[in-house]
Amino acid sequence: MMISSFAFAQQKQLIVKVPPLNENNIITISRQMDCLPGVHFSGYASGVSCLLLRYDTSTVLDEIIITSTLHHLNKKLPLQIIRGITAYDVIDGKLPEGY
């Protein structure tokens, strides 16, 4: 039996704090992330204005390709990567101090 190497690929979460977005901005970002292999747009937490993304580390070697793509969308929107929390923390509104 042959086991796919994709089953063992590591998925990482990427949580990005952005300015408040409207529906068109979110659709644009979602479509652009669909064009990047190994990247999954999980959603947008409107209460804390964060993008929730997952990426496959065997396909995406560094998250800089994702962040630079986001930066150049929607008139070079400023963004900030939030580390050390999960998407569930973001949805629950549990952001660290300073965010």
Where exactly are the structural domains of the chain? Answer: 10-91
Both structure tokens of 63: 């998250």
Q: Output the pTM of the full model.
A: 0.80
Looking at the domain that runs over 10-91, which CATH code has it been given? 3.30.70.920
d(CA 29, CA 1): 39
Q: pLDDT for 7-50, tens place per residue?
A: 556 889 999 999 899 999 899 999 999 999 999 999 999 888 99
Integer CA distances (angstroms), 53 to 3, 4, 18, 96, in order: 26, 23, 13, 18
Both structure tokens of 2: 């042959």
